[in-house]
Amino acid sequence: MPELTEEQAVKKRQELVELGYCVVPGVLRGSLLERMRQFTNQLFERKAVDPRYRYQGSDFHIASKRLWEKRKSGEYSELVDELVDLPEAWEACRRIGLEHQRPDDTIIVLSKPAYGPPLYWHQDLMNWNHPESASPWPTRVFLSYYMTDTTLENGCLRAIPGTHRKRIPLHDHLPPAHGPEIQAIRDLSHPAFQDHPDAVDLPVRGGDLVINDARLLHGARANRTPQRRTLVLQWHSIFEFPKPPSWWDGEIPDAVRNHDPDVKYERSRTPSMYLR
């Protein structure tokens, strides 16, 4: 990918802040993309998917080698170190203006098997009691690379723009993401699986970098093809909450400004009063 120009980078930043997502084309390429494809394909040959992940397709967590050296548990691959360190991704994020970026040193391999069902609408923030969830800038993002091109036929990502900051009626119908209640839904006429008038499809090329705010409502279309559609996802924390990004010139909500770092908040996946 030619590097993002200043103008393109500012546009991506605005998209991430206002819509809740942006896409940077062609970040993961060449040998590493090829090796990640092989690695994920082999993973599916060697491991069975627990049926409770039928809508996510899979949920394999693979640590970097350096993290495994500390924890000595779970599965690791040096490919994860390479992917987390990918210079092109760091450069794209730097240009977009992501500051104080701290990656989780793990990837999650998600997928959609051949003819797999859609993924329910959900958002992934686990910290809704924390004033961080009131932040007008992103503080927790997931960076994804799809291993192949994605289309409306093979189960591309979908999103409802702006829902990272704005409550919509659908929020009240969604059980917490990836918990037993939403995983147990069998009736695809449930609102979690219904089309939404404001939904947009986000088909991408294999290796594009998709950056999503954790709070954004998103899901995926069903896979109506005989090929698996896989993605590799990494979580990153960004900015030093409650300090705004250096480029921030918007308002700062009182909940953010008055944040007391000594208060502890219980984790919660349910949107709080901070989502209005």
Ligand X SMILES: O=C(O)CCC(=O)C(=O)O
Task: Return residues touching ligand X (CB under 6 A).
Answer: 56, 110, 112, 119, 124, 157, 218, 220, 231
Span from 84-92, 123-131, 164-172, 257-265 in contact with Fe ion (CB under 5 A): 123-131
Specify the amino acid at residue 226.
P
Report the nearest approach of ligand X to the CB of residue 101 (Å). 20
Report the nearest approach of Fe ion to the CB of residue 157 (Å). 9
Is residue 124 near Fe ion by the rule CB under 5 A? Answer: yes
Indicate if the alpha-carbon torsion angle 273, 183, 204, 83 is positive or negative.
positive
Nearest residue to ligand X, scored by beta-carbon proximity: 220
Report the nearest approach of ligand X to the CB of residue 155 (Å). 7
Report the nearest approach of ligand X to the CB of residue 117 (Å). 11
For residues 257 and 136, the answer to whether their CB atoms sit within 8 Å is no
The residue among 97 and 113 lying less far from ligand X, judged by its C-beta, is: 113
The residue among 56 and 64 lying less far from ligand X, judged by its C-beta, is: 56
The residue among 121 and 244 lying less far from ligand X, judged by its C-beta, is: 121
Dist CA 231 CA 211 (whole Å): 13
Specify the amino acid at residue 154.
N
Helix axes 87-96, 6-18, angle to 10 degrees: 80
* Integer angstrom CA distances of residue 73 from 61, 65, 111, 137: 11, 11, 24, 34
Dist CA 89 CA 83 (whole Å): 9
Q: Which residue has the tokens 């240009």?
A: 95
Concatenating the DSSP letter of every residue in 96-121 gives HT--S-EE-SEEEEEEE-TTPPPEEE
Report the nearest approach of ligand X to the CB of residue 218 (Å). 6
The residue among 124 and 132 lying less far from Fe ion, judged by its C-beta, is: 124
Report the nearest approach of ligand X to the CB of residue 40 (Å). 13
Tokens of 148: 């192949």
Dist CA 271 CA 141 (whole Å): 16
The residue among 68 and 120 lying less far from Fe ion, judged by its C-beta, is: 120
Span from 42-50, 121-129, 160-168, 264-272 in contact with Fe ion (CB under 5 A): 121-129
Q: Which residue has the tokens 């490919």?
A: 79
Task: Provide φ and ψ at 108, rounded to 5°.
Answer: -120, 125
The residue among 60 and 248 lying less far from ligand X, judged by its C-beta, is: 60
Is residue 105 near Fe ion by the rule CB under 5 A? Answer: no
Which of ligand X, Fe ion, none has residue 96 at its interface (CB below 5 to 8 Å by kind)? none
What b/e string do you get for 19-51 counting C-beta neighbours within 10 Å, with b at 16 or more? bbbbbbeebbeeebbeebbebbeebbeeeebee
Which of Fe ion, ligand X, none has residue 86 at its interface (CB below 5 to 8 Å by kind)? none
Which of ligand X, Fe ion, none has residue 27 at its interface (CB below 5 to 8 Å by kind)? none
Report the nearest approach of Fe ion to the CB of residue 115 (Å). 21
Which of Fe ion, ligand X, none has residue 192 at its interface (CB below 5 to 8 Å by kind)? none
- In the complex, the residues that contact Fe ion under the rule CB under 5 A are 124
